[in-house]
Amino acid sequence: MKKILFAAVAVCGLTLSGVALRAADEKAADKGKSFHGVLIDNACGAKQKTEADAGKHPLSCAKKSSCEESGYQLVSGSDHLKFDEKGNKLAKEYLAKGDSTKVTVEGTKDGDDLKVTSIKAADAKEKGDKAEK
């Protein structure tokens, strides 16, 4: 009888700890994570295959009203992550005062979309600054 009771308590304990870990993982996912790459408008971003290609795209183009209207995305490696409405707004604000399209974006990935919480200039390491290497 003691063995059965001990086994039942052990199973309940493992189940509760699993639920607690899952809840912690979901909470961490809500906070999002960092994504590094090149900020580009969707119209021009569709023509770029990789982050290196997008990095050659001029900042001035992304600020044009026609490009701005298409929305924005982050090209990270060969991934194209399109911004949500809030992300598009934050991208416009960043581009108004930013001097580089190499950025770090905080957010939550949902398929090929990115729910953006913040955008900031990438630090020298993330930009691949040759002086750092």
Q: Print pLDDT tens along the chain (133 aa).
A: 777 766 666 666 666 655 555 655 555 544 589 999 999 999 999 999 999 999 999 999 999 999 999 999 999 999 999 999 999 999 999 999 989 999 999 999 999 999 999 999 998 665 554 333 2
Q: Which residues contact 28 (CB under 8 A, 6 or more apart)?
A: none
**Whether the model pTM is above 0.95:** no
Count of helix runs (H) and strand runs (E) in the chain: 7, 5
Residue 34's SS3 state is strand
What is the Cα 113 distance to its own chain's centre?
Answer: 9
